[in-house]
């Protein structure tokens, strides 16, 4: 399977050619269908904007054959001879293709570097491809990662700060022509976003008068009034050009609205006074032949490149930082792609060993004669434990090696050593278990749990449209105990255990968890196969009176289910009265509204998922209340040997978040913390490293032991363990010993909220 990009852009083709190959948004489904019928593209999407026409694909077969199929399809659909555009095309594969997609989504490949429109256009193209069932695991993961990269570039660099838009570049061009726009009259044709942006810049330059013409007169009036201009009907724009100094056109018309003969008549009425036309529409509004008329100076999008180039020079440093981010992210994605190759080998190895175990177990049972059911189960459990322990190290090492270039060699050697069949390509979807047919999601019946399950189901359905995705709602032991503090009833395992039993016995295929609710030690045979990108990890205060934490009066009743939150808040406000608060989010809010409490603390992610953001009084930064391990992240738990579901949920996995979660959970595991002790940790990715902050607190909040470490993303579990060791050495051990006599084994770490 090969990732492939084929296309042309403003860098390789003039606007005349881009117009001929342009595909309107509403028309995208048809060429997508043609690409699927006439090529070996397993997955495909088409991005078409004023500056580029590109196909992103996963090709099963020879790359050159796939490229020929794409070019044939474009030529046929747009009725453009291949000879007219073949030498303008570029083709990228593998890492170069991934890099190009990330650069496009991040606006580094745009004519106007840093402009935000391209990201929306790529997202729209992706949504259309999803709706037409043209995407699968490879493109789904590629695009999710591209959107994440774009977000990082915009938030971690200044690439978008003061970035010129096409509209602002048009105004800048007018400024260069006239020197000063004060006292000039401008006619804007069109009333869309680009026209509005142009008007904003024109007003800043002090133009004398602004006219707005649009097919919808009401829209023209609204826009003109907003900028103290005057609206005219669309039919009147040619007459208004007689007196305008500058005309900027940006309609969505599918054909030219101003022809050469129109311009000849207008210039005569102007007594041959010069007029400047700037056409920023795509397709173009103004016939290029108008430039042949004396005293008419016509500029189009391609003429703006000089303006854009000077803007880019000013932000070259930010572009370099953005390129560095992209380069790191390309490596992360390629490592994930390579890791897919070992999944079939791991599954085959486990199946082979399980066959041997089962056969030998049956022989032993036969020789032992009459055994009680308990004795039989004890022997079977021992055999399973031996198999799991023997396989753990080679499977772990194989997964680690898979992310590097030598991965295929290790996979081949292992398959030969154990006599396994040649490895199928999970990316190609070959083999009997390649395509998921049924995906049964186990979930609690609470509103938040159902929201999370439906969110995951929607993404799975988009990636695997032929799969039957369904829900199995369960009432757990934890749901039946609502009046007792979590630390007194065994912790979060109450919610997890019954669902994991259903997963192990095959009644469901996966469980959607809030990762902060998942014990660090999973039952044998189960694994967290994927985690989603982290949402807001913070805790929030919701107060009945609208008062912040600092403003709450002494003795105010503050409700929380979490000893972690309680300890950190008491550390700052020991004068508050902490109240044990159980139940789902809506129940907690109702108790607040009923006057039982003055305020409550809950997770921001849950509140936002339920559409209750307007109730938030205050967000707590991690410096005030360090989040729970895994807070803001959804995790997908499956049977370890279930290769079908593993492949299905791989499209959901956010690699950076997964690395951070491994570090946080390793921290908790080493401490042996659970919901019976105030433990918190939060990691963040910084380039190629993870910075992890953690703490252990006494129940009364008087003592807080905290620390921070940073280390490479390649070994997150070692990083988490090192932070735990640091805290134990600097005062956390006595706190844990006071609570338990000794640190307990890793357990659940946060109440369900």
Name the nearest CA neighbour of 237 among 224, 228, 254. 224
- Catalytic residue from among 50, 290, 625, 675: 50
- Cβ-contact 353, 387 below 8 angstroms: yes
CA distance 313 to 691: 33
Burial class (CB in 10 A: 0-12, 13-18, 19+), 41: buried
pLDDT in tens, 176-216: 777 777 778 889 999 877 777 777 777 777 777 889 999 99
Name the nearest CA neighbour of 135 among 461, 542, 600, 587. 461
What pLDDT does residue 630 have?
95
Weakly modelled stretches of the chain, pLDDT under 70: 61, 161-165, 305-315, 340-341, 343, 402-405, 421-435, 475-495, 673-676, 740-753
In a 13 Å sphere around the CA of 731, the CA atoms on its Cβ side amount to 10
| Domains delineated in the chain | 2-159 (3.30.460.30), 166-309 (3.40.50.720)
CA distances from residue 498 to 198, 285, 513, 728 in whole angstroms, order as listed: 60, 64, 13, 33
What pLDDT does residue 599 have?
96
Q: Is 73 a catalytic residue?
A: no
Q: Which residues contact 138 (CB under 8 A, 6 or more apart)?
A: 1, 3, 42, 43, 58, 337, 427
What pLDDT does residue 475 have?
66
What pLDDT does residue 179 have?
75
What pLDDT does residue 489 have?
38
**Two tokens, residue 293:** 């008329």
**Two tokens, residue 732:** 């956390």
What pLDDT does residue 141 have?
82
pLDDT in tens, 345-379: 777 787 788 888 888 888 888 888 888 888 888 89
Q: What is the DSSP letter of 730?
A: I
């Amino acid at each position: 399977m090969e990732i492939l990009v084929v296309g042309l852009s403003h860098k390789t083709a003039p606007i005349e050619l881009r117009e001929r190959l342009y595909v309107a948004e509403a028309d995208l489904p048809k060429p997508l269908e043609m690409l699927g019928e006439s090529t070996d593209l397993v997955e495909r999407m088409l991005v078409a904007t004023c500056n580029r026409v590109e196909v992103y694909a996963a090709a099963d077969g020879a790359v050159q054959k796939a490229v020929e199929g794409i070019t044939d399809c474009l030529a046929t659909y747009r009725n453009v001879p291949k000879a007219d555009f073949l030498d303008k095309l570029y083709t990228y594969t593998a890492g170069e293709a991934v890099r190009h997609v990330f650069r496009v989504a991040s606006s580094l490949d745009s004519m106007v570097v840093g402009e935000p429109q391209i990201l929306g256009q790529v997202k729209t193209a992706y949504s259309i491809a999803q709706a037409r069932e043209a995407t699968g695991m490879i493109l789904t993961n590629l695009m999710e990662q591209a959107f994440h990269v774009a977000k990082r570039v915009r938030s971690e660099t200044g690439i978008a700060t003061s970035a010129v838009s096409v509209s602002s570049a048009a105004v800048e061009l007018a400024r260069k022509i006239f020197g000063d726009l004060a006292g000039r009259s401008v006619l804007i044709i069109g009333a869309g976003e680009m026209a509005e942006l142009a008007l904003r810049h024109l007003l800043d330059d002090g133009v004398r008068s602004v006219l707005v013409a649009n097919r919808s007169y009401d829209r023209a009036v609204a826009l003109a009034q907003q900028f103290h201009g005057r609206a005219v009907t669309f039919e009147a724009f040619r007459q208004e050009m007689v007196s305008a100094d500058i005309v900027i056109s940006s309609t969505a018309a599918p054909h030219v609205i101003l022809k050469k003969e129109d311009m000849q008549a207008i210039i005569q009425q102007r007594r041959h006074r010069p007029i400047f036309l700037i056409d920023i529409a795509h397709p173009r509004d103004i016939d290029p032949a108008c430039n042949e008329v004396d005293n008419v100076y016509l500029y189009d999008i391609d003429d703006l490149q000089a303006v854009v180039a000077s803007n880019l020079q000013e932000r070259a440093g930010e572009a370099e930082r953005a390129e560095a981010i992209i380069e790191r992210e390309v490596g992360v994605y390629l490592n994930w792609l390579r890791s897919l190759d070992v999944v079939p080998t791991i599954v085959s190895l486990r199946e082979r060993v399980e066959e041997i175990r089962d056969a030998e177990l049956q022989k032993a049972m036969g020789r032992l004669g009459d055994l009680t059911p308990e004795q039989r189960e004890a022997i079977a459990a021992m055999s399973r434990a031996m198999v799991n322990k023997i396989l753990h190290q080679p499977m772990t090492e194989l997964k680690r090696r898979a992310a590097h270039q030598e991965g295929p060699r290790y996979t081949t050697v292992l398959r030969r050593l154990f006599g396994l069949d040649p490895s199928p390509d999970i990316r190609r979807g070959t083999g009997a278990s390649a395509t998921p047919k049924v995906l049964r999601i186990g979930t609690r019946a609470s509103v938040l749990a159902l929201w999370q399950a439906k969110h995951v189901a929607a993404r799975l359905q988009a990636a695997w449209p032929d799969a039957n995705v369904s829900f199995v709602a369960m009432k757990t032991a934890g749901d039946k105990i609502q009046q007792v503090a979590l630390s007194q009833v065994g912790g979060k395992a109450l919610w997890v255990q019954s669902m994991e039993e259903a997963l192990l016995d095959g009644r469901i295929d996966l469980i959607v968890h809030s990762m902060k609710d998942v014990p660090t030690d999973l039952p044998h045979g189960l694994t967290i196969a994927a985690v989603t990108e982290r949402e807001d990890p913070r805790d929030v205060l919701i107060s009945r009176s609208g008062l912040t934490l600092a403003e709450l009066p002494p003795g105010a009743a503050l409700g929380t289910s979490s000893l972690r939150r309680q300890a950190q808040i008491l550390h700052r406000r020991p004068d508050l009265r902490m109240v044990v608060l159980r139940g789902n989010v809506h129940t907690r809010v109702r108790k607040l509204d009923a006057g039982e409490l003055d305020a409550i603390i809950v997770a921001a992610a849950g509140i936002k998922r339920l559409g209750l953001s307007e109730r938030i009084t205050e967000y707590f930064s991690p410096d005030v209340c360090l989040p729970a391990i895994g807070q803001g992240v959804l995790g997908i738990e499956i049977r370890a040997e279930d290769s079908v579901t593993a492949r299905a949920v791989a499209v959901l996995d956010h690699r950076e978040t997964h690395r951070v979660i491994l570090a946080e959970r390793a921290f908790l595991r080493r401490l042996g913390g659970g919901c019976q002790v105030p433990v918190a940790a939060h990691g963040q990715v910084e380039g190629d490293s993870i910075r992890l902050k953690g703490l252990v607190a006494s129940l009364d909040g008087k003592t807080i032991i905290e620390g921070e470490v940073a280390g490479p993303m390649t070994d997150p579990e070692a990083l988490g363990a090192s932070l735990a060791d640091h805290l134990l050495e600097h005062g956390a051990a006595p706190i844990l010993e006071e609570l338990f006599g000794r640190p307990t084994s890793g357990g659940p770490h946060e109440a369900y909220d």
